Amino acid sequence: MNIQTKYWNVDNYVDDLIDCPQVREAALLLRANELIAFPTETVYGLGGNGLVDETVEKIYTAKGRPSDNPLILHIADRGQLVDIVEYVPPLAEALMEAFWPGPLTLVLPKKPGVAMRASAGLDTVAVRMPDHPVADALIRAAGVPVAAPSANVSGRPSPTTGRHVQEDLDGRIAGILDGGPTGIGVESTVVDTTGDVPLILRPGGITAEQIAEIIGEVAVDPGLLGDGSAAPRSPGMKYRHYAPEGEMWLVEEPDMRIRLVQAVERAKQEGRRVGVLTTEESTTAYPGADVVLACGQRADLISVARQLYDVLRRFDQEQVDVIFSETFPYTGVGAAVMNRLVKAAGGKYL
C-alpha cells in the first residue's frame, strides 16, 4: 500500500471551517470513499463513509484492525440518527441531552443502511457526536456519517497529534487534517443503552459517576474483565491496544515506588534499557532508570489521560526494552487511564 497522503494544517478558530479549503478538499475525498484522519476532542480518528462496506473495509486494512472489532459512527447533527438507528431509547436520549457533543459513544439499535463492516455484523451500532470544530465541519461538509476508529496502526498507542497519525499511516490513507493536539487524550466512553440497565463497554472521557448522575444505575460490562473469547460489542474490548514497542509492566500499591525501584535495578542488571512512566511528583524517585517520563500530575488524573499516549510513543522514540509504569486509582477518569494501561501492558502486573 503506497498512497500519496495529503497533509493539511487547519486553524481551529476560523469562523466558518466548513468552507475552509482544506476541509472542503478532505470532505470531497471522504465522499469519494477515501480515508481521512481528523482531530476530535479525544484522539485523532481515521474516517471513512460509514454507509459503504468497501470504504469501511479500507479502514480495517489501513489499520491492520481485526474484522470483528466494531467501529464508531461520528455524526454532526442528531438528525443524522434517522438514517442509522431504528430508535433512540429514553436513557440514550437523556445521555445525549447531557453529553452531546462530547466524548460519549452510545450503542443503539442499527438500521439496515449502515455498513455491516462498521458494526462487525452486530445488530447494534456505536454512535457519537464529537466536540471538535474540525471534526464537526468535516462531517457536515461530507454529509455522511463517518466511521472512525483511532487513526493509528492497530495495537499502537492512539494518536493525539497529526504527526502521530503521520508516523503510523503515511502512505496508507488519502489525507490528514491537522487541527493541533487533542484535548482529552483518551477515547470516548462507550455505553450500551439497548438493555434494561446501561452498560459501560469502555471507560473514557465521560466518567461512570457523571453518567450515574444523569440516569441512575449503570453497570460495567464483564467483558472488560473477561477472557476475551466473546465477540466485542465495542472498540477496545477484546484485543491488546495502545501498546508501546517495549515490554510493559504495571506496578501497584502497596509500596509501589519501592517495588518499582527494585524492578528497575533487576532489569538494569540484565543489561536492559529501562523506562519508567510516572508523574511530575515523582520524576526524581527512579534515578536508576534510563528514561523517566512524567505523564501529567497524580493529583490531576485528567492531565495523566491527556498525556498518556504521547508518553507511550516517546518511550518508542527512546528505544527502551522494558517500561515499568505506576498505576492510578480507578475513580473518575482514572478508570479510563487504567483501562488503557492494562491493555498496553497486556494485563501484566509485577
Residue type, 102: G
Distance CA 96, CA 206 (A): 12
Q: Which CATH class is domain 6-187?
A: alpha beta
Find all residues with CB under 8 Å of 52, minimum gap 6, and list them.
33, 115
Cell numbers for 122, please give them.
452486530
**Considering just the CA atoms, what is the radius of gyration of the chain in Å?**
20
Burial of 235 (0-12, 13-18, 19+ CB in 10 A): buried
pLDDT score at 13: 87
In which residue are the cell numbers 443503539 written? 108
Per-residue pLDDT of the chain (350 residues; tens, 9 = 90+): 688 999 999 998 888 899 999 999 999 999 999 999 999 999 999 999 999 999 999 999 999 876 667 899 999 999 999 989 999 999 999 999 999 999 999 999 999 888 777 777 889 999 999 999 999 999 999 999 999 999 999 889 999 999 999 999 999 999 999 999 999 999 999 999 999 899 999 999 999 999 999 999 999 988 665 434 444 444 544 445 788 999 999 999 999 999 999 999 999 999 999 999 999 999 999 999 999 999 999 999 999 999 999 999 999 999 999 999 999 999 999 999 999 999 999 999 99
Residue spans of alpha helices (H) in the chain: 21-31, 53-63, 90-99, 133-142, 162-169, 208-215, 256-269, 301-317, 334-344
CA 102, CA 185: separation in Å to the nearest integer?
A: 13
> pTM for this structure?
0.92
CB 152 within 8 A of CB 169: yes
Gap between the Cα atoms of 220 and 289, Å rounded: 36
Superfamily covering domain 247-344: Threonylcarbamoyl-AMP synthase, C-terminal domain (3.40.50.11030)
| Ramachandran category for residue 337: left, alpha or beta (phi over 0 → left; psi -120 to 50 → alpha) | alpha
Domain limits of the chain? 6-187, 247-344
